[in-house]
């Protein structure tokens, strides 16, 4: 009798990401991942409880490589930027999986590790209480939102081109902005947007009541 194959969570997460990269989130299922691994669906259930558990493994694996150690001699804004760039690179390698980072933000240890490091920088910068919570959400919203936009509606894509061709007599600002936006590369779009968020946070200083 052949020996039963043993699987690790890393192998399972990699197989699930391969499915997502190829077929999107709609193509993800226990059955398809099992086939990707060359095992039966029932065998996969020995390691994964259900699809929710599987998705959590995917999120955790995407962020496993993120280095949360940051240079202490940099201003807090630059330390935040370094960490968010690392997170963007890790998750951006699998754009179709970006929505999972929102759904499973509480259950993926490596995402929690990144959030804790980010909160550490914000705390050192003087953010506390509700102000720190809002700052964290704003920064994560920029990363996740930027990745989603770059995947589903990139500035160099057809949607921007269509808006650039709108009649200028009716949409003068939108048409002009779209034409200019097509020349902005993704890295510049992300960093300049992040700079705007960081400038706002620096002015606010965590001053949210409570």
- The pLDDT tens digits of the residues spanning 168-205 come to 999 999 999 999 999 999 999 999 999 999 999 988 76
Question: Do 165 and 120 have their domain in common?
Answer: yes
Q: Are 186 and 150 in contact (CB under 8 A)?
A: yes
* Average pLDDT, rounded, for the chain: 93
Give the end of a domain, one of 62, 84, 100.
62
Question: Do 58 and 84 have their domain in common?
Answer: no
Is the pLDDT at 3 greater than 80, yes or no?
no
Question: Do 154 and 96 have their domain in common?
Answer: yes
Question: Do 18 and 95 have their domain in common?
Answer: no
pLDDT digit string, tens, across residues 75-127: 999 999 999 999 999 999 999 999 999 999 888 999 999 999 999 999 999 99
CA distance 156 to 178: 10
Is the pLDDT at 17 greater than 60, yes or no?
yes
Residue 2 lies in a domain: no
138: CATH: 1.10.357.10
* Residue 44 exposed, middle or buried by CB count within 10 Å (0-12, 13-18, 19+): buried
Question: Do 96 and 30 have their domain in common?
Answer: no
pLDDT digit string, tens, across residues 115-160: 999 999 999 999 999 999 999 999 999 999 999 999 999 999 999 9
Question: Do 48 and 88 have their domain in common?
Answer: no
- For 55, the domain range is 9-62
Question: Do 36 and 96 have their domain in common?
Answer: no
Is the pLDDT at 206 greater than 90, yes or no?
no
Give the pLDDT score at 203.
Answer: 84
Q: Are 62 and 91 in contact (CB under 8 A)?
A: yes
Residue 100 lies in a domain: yes
Question: Do 95 and 57 have their domain in common?
Answer: no
Is the pLDDT at 209 greater than 50, yes or no?
no
Is the pLDDT at 47 greater than 90, yes or no?
yes
Question: Do 112 and 147 have their domain in common?
Answer: yes
46: CATH: 1.10.10.60
User: How many domains in the chain?
Assistant: 2
Question: Do 191 and 107 have their domain in common?
Answer: yes
| Residues recorded for the chain | 210
Give the predicted TM-score (pTM) of the model: 0.89
Question: Do 34 and 137 have their domain in common?
Answer: no
Question: Do 180 and 143 have their domain in common?
Answer: yes
């Amino acid at each position: 009798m052949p020996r039963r194959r043993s699987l690790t969570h890393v192998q399972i997460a990699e197989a699930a990401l391969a499915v997502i990269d190829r077929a999107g989130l709609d193509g993800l299922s226990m059955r398809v991942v099992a086939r990707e691994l060359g095992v039966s669906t029932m065998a996969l259930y020995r390691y994964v409880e259900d699809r929710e558990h599987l998705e959590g493994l995917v999120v955790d694996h995407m962020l496993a490589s993120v280095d949360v150690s940051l240079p202490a001699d940099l201003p807090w804004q630059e330390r935040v930027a370094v960490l968010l760039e690392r997170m963007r690179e890790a998750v951006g390698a699998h754009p179709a999986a970006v929505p999972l980072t929102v759904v499973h933000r509480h259950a993926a240890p490596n995402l929690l590790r990144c959030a804790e490091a980010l909160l550490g920088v914000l705390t050192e910068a003087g953010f506390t209480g509700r102000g720190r919570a809002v700052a964290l959400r704003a920064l994560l919203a920029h990363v996740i939102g930027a990745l989603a936009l770059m995947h589903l509606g990139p500035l160099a894509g057809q949607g921007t081109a269509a808006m650039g061709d709108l009649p200028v007599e009716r949409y003068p600002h939108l048409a002009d902005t779209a034409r200019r936006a097509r020349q902005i590369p993704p890295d510049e779009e992300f960093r300049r947007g992040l700079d705007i968020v960081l400038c706002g946070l620096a002015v606010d200083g965590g001053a949210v009541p409570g």
